[in-house]
Amino acid sequence: MTTTPVPWEPPAAGTETEHLRAALDRQRWTFRWKASGLDSAGLQARVGTSSLTLGGLLKHLAFVESYYFTLRLRGGDPGPPWNAVDWGGEPDWDFASAAHDSPDALYSLWDEAVARARERLDEALAEGGLDQLVDLGWSDGRRPSLRRVLCDLIEEYARHTGHADLLRESVDGLVGEDPPEDWRP
């Protein structure tokens, strides 16, 4: 009997590129599952004194995907709504403004950002692999490799998926490490 692996399961034995992409996708899938199917109240729920919400995380990670795979990767414009934000004046705009967005808008924003990011990653890997330097670096002139960008995104998602675990459990008790095998956004 042949079974099809779930889309978030990393390969048992793959290349470095396959493992990095799969590690990022596993975090993406798990995060999206933790944030899925909620109404506005669920997406705006908080834990303790924290201002963090699942809606804010959805919007923040949509920004992170757009930032890393447009501006950082190739120096491109991340597009709306990101290019209209005064990030200097409102550094937490993505988190705070999510309270004004509908669940459908937040889910679409994140889903579309991830789809574009996957396409841009495919293009970048085809052009130069993991060792290529990305366009936007640090103020001292150093530029990270695409490998470093993927590792940074895995870390970003792992941190926020941990936050999502706590937030979602407080909303309706949902717990677990991976989505059910038949779950899809």
Tens-binned pLDDT, residue by residue, of the chain (185 aa): 455 678 888 888 889 999 999 999 999 999 999 999 999 999 999 999 999 999 999 999 999 999 999 998 988 899 999 999 999 999 999 999 999 999 999 999 999 999 999 999 999 999 999 999 999 888 899 999 999 999 999 999 999 999 999 999 999 999 988 888 888 88
27: burial class by Cβ within 10 Å (0-12, 13-18, 19+)?
buried
Q: Mapped to the 3 state alphabet, what secondary structure does the chain carry? A: CCCCCCCCCCCCCCCHHHHHHHHHHHHHHHHHHHHCCCCHHHHHCCCCCCCCCHHHHHHHHHHHHHHHHHHHHHCCCCCCCHHHCCCCCCCCHHHHHHHHCCHHHHHHHHHHHHHHHHHHHHHHHHHHCCCCECCCCCCCCCCCEHHHHHHHHHHHHHHHHHHHHHHHHHHHCCCCCCCCCCCCC
Q: Give the domain ranges of the chain.
A: 16-172
Class of domain 16-172: mainly alpha
pLDDT of residue 18: 93
Q: What is the pLDDT of residue 1?
A: 45
| pLDDT at residue 4, rounded to an integer | 60
Confidence at residue 3, expressed as pLDDT on a 0 to 100 scale: 57
